[in-house]
Every structure is written in C-alpha cells, then in structure tokens.
Chain A
Amino acid sequence: MASSSDFFVRDSGPAVAPSGPAAGSAFTPNVTGHQRGTPAPKCEPHCAFVLTHHPNRWGVQGGKIRPILGRMPLVSGIGGCEDGPNGTVKAGTARNNTESKGWTLIPYDSLPKSQAHRGSYLYSLKDSGRPDVILPYWARAYAGSTALRADLDLKYEFLDHLVSSGVVPEVPTYVIERCLDDAKARFERAADKAQTVPSWKPKAKAIGDEVKVLEKELKARAVEPVAVGGGYTPETSGV
C-alpha cells in the first residue's frame, strides 16, 4: 500500500515535494470517551454449555423433522456443576442429573465434515471483546448490537449430521405421532383465527406445511404397534 511519503516521491526528485502541500499521514484525535474501532457485541452474556438431546424433543425445522436440542449450562451452582481447580467447572454431578433424565450429551467434536476444522461446536467472542459470550458456531453476534441471529443452513447441517452419524437416534414414530397431533391442534386454531385476522393466514399455512411434513414421514414408515402381544380377556363374571 502506498504511504503518504511515497505519493510525493518522484524517480529523480527529492523525498519531499518542492512545492504544494506538505506530506502528512492519517490522524485520529485521541479523544477520551470516544469509540475507537469496532464496538463489541452488546448481546446478553452466554455461559459455556454442552448441547444435549432428549428423545421427546423433536419438531419441524426448515421443512424437516429435526431434533430440538437442549443444553447443560456449565456454571457452578446450576444443575449440579461445581467449582473445580484453577477456575474450571466440575460437571460430573450435572452430567449424572442430565443423563438420568433421558438426555444425551453431545460431544463437542460432533461436527459435520465441512466444520471439522473447528474442533468444537462452540466458539467464544473473546476476540471481539466479549469473553462472557459463548455461542454455537451457527450463531452470529453483531458489533454494537444486542441481536443474535442464526445461519440456519449451518444449523440444519449440524442437526442432520447428529442424526446421520448416530449421535442422536432417529426420531421415534410415537414422537412423530405426538408432534402431528400437536401440529393439527395448532393448525385448527390458526386456521380459525385466519378467518378473522388476515395476518394469521401465513402462520396457518406454515403450520399446515408442518402437518404435511409430519404426515408424509409417518406414511413413509410402516407403523407398527409399540408392543405386540396376545389377546387379553379380563376375568369377570356376569359379562
């Protein structure tokens, strides 16, 4: 990049222009209290955590049935976490509490191939001046803003990878049935509302699409009863 002194240098001439404006360089007054550089994101603090999955938590996301992940916060005092040596957090008890309730902890390196270089699905905003903000890699924070937004393509790629790699087992059929019941109830309410409130029409349509996704998935599976047994006749008299 050319510097201001380069600008005035001629092949055979002196280092300083013989006439005209004197050489100068960029100058920013050092005014106390004024912002210098990019401001740090202003989002709420986000503690470190481990992503978790529960067999009950599924939903239609991005037109497909995908797991709704939970998280195990890594803060001493929360959920069974304790202070460890040298500022670390001991999470053994928290892990027991979490797993005993049916959750699976998702290892930090469970990453799709395209993201394997990251080494972890979490990243810190330390370099942006917010060491207290730990986010999953698909979450975006913005300089000077409280907003957090997700790159949904990255998020869905991650969720699909968890299922395809077996870290998260396939969605059970009974969960799809429950989701379908729930979506149908929501659709009926939304469709009713859309009759009188036009702004609800796109919402009703979105929930209608959700119903279609669930129905399609259910149809694609040969639905078997959960348990198959012999016939049962209660022992009664007089019936």
Chain B
Amino acid sequence: MGNEVTLTSFANELATEQLAGVVALLLADRGALPNHPAIIEYANAQQGGSATVKASALGLMGYDLPAATAEGSSISNTALSDATASLTIGKKGKVYTATSLARLLDPTGTLNSQVFAADAVASGMAWDLYQIAQLMDNFSTTTGTTGTDASAATILDAITALEIAKVPGPYLSIMHPRLYADIRDDIALNSGGAVQWNADSQAMLSIMHGLGAQPRLFGVDVMTSTHCLDDSTDVWGGVFGRGAIIYGWASPSVLDLSSDQVVLVGRYLFDRIRTALADTTGWAMHQYTGVVELIDAAGVSMQAGNS
C-alpha cells in the first residue's frame, strides 16, 4: 500500500491550523467603576485653564451646630471649615497597528475599528479602576493585622470606623482578591448567627463571580481588583464613602468633522491612523484622567497577610 493522501502529502492544500471559530480573552483585570455614588466625579476639566483641579469640601449643612447665646447678646462668627486636595489630570494611551495583509486575511473579525473602539473604552475604564485602587492602601485608618488572614470582622471594623467618622453611605470597597477570599472563608467556615443566615453571605458563597464586581457585603458594594497593593507582607483594600475619592477627567475636542477621530463615551479619544506608504492601519486611544484622596477620614484601609 502507498500513496495515501495524508496531512503531510496534502500540506499544500491545507491550512497549518483550523480556526476554532471562538476567540477568547486573555486573563486581565477588566473591572470598571461606572459612576458609583461613593466616588465624586469632576466631570470634564476641558478648557479649565490648568491640568490641576482644586477639589474642596466645605463644613456646611450641619457641620457646625448653632451655639447657645444669651438673650440680647450677639452671636460670634463661625469659622467656615474646609478641606482641599489638588487633582491632576494625567495622560495615558495606547495604539494597535495592523498591516493590510493581516486585516485582509483576519478570519476572526478582530482587526477593525469597532473592536478596537470597544477595547479603548474597556481599557480606559480599567485604567480608571487601577488609579483608584492605588489609593486604597493609603487611608490613615486601618483595620486587619499584618501577616494575618482577614475575617468578616475586618470589613465590619472598617464600616464601624466610617460610621463613627460620620461618613455618608453608600460605601464602596475595592480590595485585593486575596483579602476578599479571607473574608469569604471566614464567613463560609466560621460564621454563626446573623452573618450565617444573612442573604449577603448566601450570595457571596453561592456564586463565584471571579474578579471584579462582587455581591454586596454587609451593605457595602464590593469590587475585587489585583491592582490593589500586595506589599510582599500584606495585601490591601479599602472601604470608603462619598468624599474620600475624587475622580476627574478631560476630553479633548474632535479636531474637525472630517478627521478619523471620535471621543468615546465622552472621555476617551480614539483615532484611526492610516499610513498609506506602509499600508498599515492603527487605532490609538488617549485618556486624560486623575484621582485624588479628598477627605482622609472618609476611607479606611484594610490589610491581610498575602499568603
């Protein structure tokens, strides 16, 4: 026998591999924080005259209580208290470029403007989360113990500290997934009483959400992110209410209507770049965003051993 048609003899007629018809995504921290009420958004610093934005908080609406005064006597002036922080807008961007040959032969449908525009928005929001996560370990109030697993008490202590500090809800927590896992373990394995039968606990244990948005826990909206600090001894996270974090952004105007340029979701600049001489097409995104801590007491950092 011989001359069978085999993969080797038929190689010229075959592709090296066949496509599965499915394109999965590589693993990444893709969480986004769209407009949570605990985050104060300074919307569009465009044409404000500076990349630095002064954010302030005033001691009004019940901050100072009225003082007792005797009949007929004048009251003294009350000092108007304030707190400020300066937010700066930083530029971040990225570009993908493909040759026309790659685009012509692309059977996945990936190499086109729509996909890269969607990527630009997702990446921009992921960067926004990264920025906020970098501030989670920097509140002056901390709960948890270095080198020790977190427990349900770690987040309960944080909530208590926020309540005593007069921080209004709703609270948002962004924490390292290791810290979240410690709390989940404690609730799953050691909890009793109210925690055991709490609907939040049930939701936490019955569905594994992966990274990102998690079920509410003790009334706190929870998000896990690997962008939260692992300082080699501990992993960190934070719980905060409105006033702790200011997020600001600026969106450049589109140059003119004929340019291959668009501002996505009002804040991410997206360009298509044709390079005719090399016959390549690029898709660039730029964002101008920044975050800063405004009121330190409006947030609490949580720590737990990183192993």
**Hey, which bits of chain A sit against chain B, CB under 8 A?**
43-44, 47, 52, 54, 56-57, 59-61, 68, 70-73, 75-83, 93-94, 96-97, 100-103, 135-136, 138-140, 147-150, 152, 155, 182, 186, 189, 193, 196-197, 199-200, 203, 206-207, 210
Contacts and interface: CB of A to CB of B under 8 A. Distances in A.
A78 B134 contact: yes
B: interface residue count bin? 35 or more
A148 B296 CA distance: 28
Nearest to B90: A77
A93 B86 contact: yes
B293 A139 contact: no
Given A82-B51, A148-B232, A93 B88 contact: yes
Contacts of A155: 233
A70 B138 contact: yes
B88 A101 contact: no
Contact of A80 (B88, B226, B233, B303): B88
B280 interface: no
Nearest to A82: B88
A150 B234 CA distance: 9
A190 B194 CA distance: 17
Given A97-B292, A101-B296, A70 B137 contact: yes
When A and B form their complex, which 6 residue pairs have the shortest distance between CB atoms, in order from nearest? A77-B90, A76-B90, A139-B232, A77-B290, A150-B232, A148-B232
B230 A148 contact: yes
Contacts, number: 127
Contact of B232 (A77, A138, A182): A138
B90 A83 contact: yes
A83 B51 CA distance: 10
Contacts of B147: 61
A193 B91 CA distance: 50
Given A47-B134, A139-B232, A206-B148, A97 B85 contact: yes
Given A71-B137, A148-B230, 8 more contacts: A44-B227, A61-B146, A73-B135, A80-B52, A81-B88, A93-B88, A102-B296, A136-B232
B224 interface: no
Nearest to B141: A56
Interface string B266-304: 000000000000000000000001111100100000010
A59 B142 contact: yes
Interface in B186-214: 189-190, 192
B143 to A, nearest CB: 8
B155 interface: no
Contacts of B226: 44
Contacts of B307: 147, 149
B174 to A, nearest CB: 14
A54 B52 contact: no
B140 A101 contact: yes
B173 interface: no
B15 to A, nearest CB: 19
Contacts of A47: 134
Among the interface residues A77, A80, A100, A138, which one has the most CB atoms of the partner chain B within 10 A? Answer: A77
Contacts of B149: 203
A219 to B, nearest CB: 22
Contacts of B233: 150, 152, 155
Among the interface residues B51, B86, B192, B289, which one has the most CB atoms of the partner chain A within 10 A? Answer: B86
B261 interface: no
A159 to B, nearest CB: 11
B306 interface: yes
